[in-house]
Every structure is written in C-alpha cells, then in structure tokens.
Structure 1
Amino acid sequence: MVFRTKVNMFLLTGIFLVVVIMGSIPLLPLYKQLPFAVLLLIAVLFLVAGGFVWWYGTSIQYVFYKEYLCIKGGPFKRRILYQNITKVSPTTDEFTGYKISPTDQGLELCVESTSFSSIKISPDNKTEFIAELRKRCPNMQIQSFE
C-alpha cells in the first residue's frame, strides 16, 4: 500500500525561489564580465538545484512492504522495520527527529535502533495510514489524535 505526502506548496515554492535567487545574487557583479555561455551554465545549475529540491518535496511517499515501511523522497530511501516502531503520535513541531516531511503538521514515529529516535512524516490520509500501520505493528503505542 502506498501513501503520498501532504505537500506545503507555499513552503516548497519559497525554498525553490531562495535556492535560485539567493544562489545567483553573489554572482551579480560578474554578469558583465563573464561570457554568455558561462552565465547560461550557472543559470542551469541553479535551476537544477532548485528542481532537485522541488522533486524531493513533491515525490515523498510511504510504501508498506511485508517487513518494513519504506519512506521515499527523490533519490533518498529510508527503510524502517515494523518491529522497531514503538509509538506513533501527532506533532506540529517543525524540528522533530529526522524530518522527511515538508509540512509542520504530521505524525511522529518513535523508532528503536536508528540514528534518530523519531521520524516525522505527513501522510495525506493520516487515518488510513495509522490503520495500516496498526495492522503491521500491533504492539506499538498510538497517542490520541484529537
């Protein structure tokens, strides 16, 4: 079963623009001195960097496999064994554990035996996600979602 993430387009657009605009500001004094081909290459590099951020932010998904939950975003993957998930709780904290989520409202998965004790995610349909997670992790604690 696959769940997509809830995407904060305002934040994602802001990050894209910051990468492209702020990355090019230090080069403004050089624009008249550099050949057009070099300027074009620099512009393409900033657009590629911004595009990478955009790709990562819009492609996040949570895939339930037989033995683990796989969190994918862009070229990155994180596998979490179901037996290592101890608790799931709601969170609005922007700086919770290993942040994979582009929004500030989501779920916090408490995980044993990882470099981070918690992972913040934001599936689009939290109720169905938690129900599916409960089937695969019957011993985990579920904090109130009011």
Structure 2
Amino acid sequence: MRFKAKRDMAFAAMMIVSISVIALACLVPSYFAIYYEAEPEWLAVIILVGLFILCTGFMIWIWMDIEYVLLEDYLYVRGGPFRSKIPYDQITRMFESNNMLIGYRVLSSKDALEIQYKTGLMGSIIISPENKQEFMEELRKRCKLL
C-alpha cells in the first residue's frame, strides 16, 4: 500500500528560504562578476551557476519525491536518493510528532509520525503520510508490537 507525503506551507516556506540563501550565495557573485568586471572569470561564474542548479535540483528532488510503501515484510521509505527499509519486527513504537528539524526525517509537513525501530542509525524516522490515520491503522495491522 502506497502513501504520498503530506505537504504544508511551513515546509514550503523553509524550502523557499533555503533556495533563496543558495541563490544569494551563488548567483549574486556571478552577477557582479559578469556586469562589473572588465574581464570576468568565466570558470568561476560557470562553477557558481552549476552549483546553484545542482543544489536546488537536489533539494527539489528530495522534496517532491517522497513516498512511503507498506510492503509484505517491511516499510519502504523513499525521499529523493535516500531509501530506508524498516522491517516490521524491528518497529518498537509509533507516535505523532511535529519535529521537522531534528533527527532522520523524510517528510514535508509538520503533521508527522515518528517511528522508532531497533536497527536504525538514529533509532527513529520521522515521516508525514498524507492520510495519517489510515497509515497508522495499516502499520498496526502489519506490526505486532504496536
């Protein structure tokens, strides 16, 4: 069973601010180099513009490509290039959370769930399924400890 990630304005605002900071750091120096220097360093301009495209593309990929899949033996969490397979027998606890900044999170909303499991590097993952109640019910059916 597949669940898409919930998206809210707080996370969108955080993404816009982050992309704006990257744009200021990469594009403003490029602008000044092109328009105010007699002999601009084209290699530096190309590197800065490429870095901007690479960073923003990576951030948008992570933001737009979030999915949670309940498979037969494990929960599969995908967010851009990041993937996690969480076996149901390793899940110890699930609870609601609004923590967007700390921990291993693959989410795009403050309205989230934290799933604690034994084999995780940080011990838990924070996700934000679009239909949270249905996701919780389905995960409880598959996980014997919840």
Look up the match of 1:107. 113
The answer for unaligned runs of 5 or more in structure 2 is none
1:116, CA displacement in angstroms? 1.2
1:51, CA displacement in angstroms? 1.4
After TM superposition, which residue ranges in structure 1, 4 or more long, deviate above 6 angstroms?
none
Higher helix share: 2
The answer for unaligned runs of 5 or more in structure 1 is 141-146
Q: Give the alignment of 1:110-121 within 5 angstroms.
A: 110-121=116-127
Question: Does the 8 Å contact 2:26/2:49 carry over to 1?
Answer: no
Secondary structure, counterpart of 2:114 in structure 1: strand
Look up the match of 2:6. 6
Look up the match of 2:70. 64
Secondary structure, counterpart of 1:104 in structure 2: coil
TM-score normalised by structure 1 residue count: 0.82
1:125 aligned residue (111, 116, 131): 131
Q: Which moved more, 1:72-81 or 1:5-14?
A: 5-14
Secondary structure, counterpart of 2:121 in structure 1: coil
> Percent of counterpart pairs with the same letter?
30
Alignment-mate amino acid for residue 13 of structure 1: I
Q: Give the alignment of 1:41-120 within 5 angstroms.
A: 41-120=47-126
Alignment-mate amino acid for residue 137 of structure 1: C
Alignment-mate amino acid for residue 51 of structure 1: G
Secondary structure, counterpart of 1:133 in structure 2: helix
1:45, CA displacement in angstroms? 2.7
Tell me the matched-pair count.
Answer: 140
2:19 aligned residue (6, 16, 20): 16
Task: For 2:29 and 2:126, locate their aligned partners in 1 and report how far apart those are by CA, in whole Å.
Answer: 34
1:129, CA displacement in angstroms? 0.7
User: Does the C-alpha gap of structure 1 residues 96 and 137 become closer, same or farther in structure 2, counting only changes over 3 Å?
Assistant: farther
Task: For 2:102 and 2:43, locate their aligned partners in 1 and report how far apart those are by CA, in whole Å.
Answer: 43
TM-score normalised by structure 2 residue count: 0.82
Task: For 2:26 and 2:117, locate their aligned partners in 1 and report how far apart those are by CA, in whole Å.
Answer: 36
Task: For 1:16 and 1:132, locate their aligned partners in 2 and report how far apart those are by CA, in whole Å.
Answer: 36
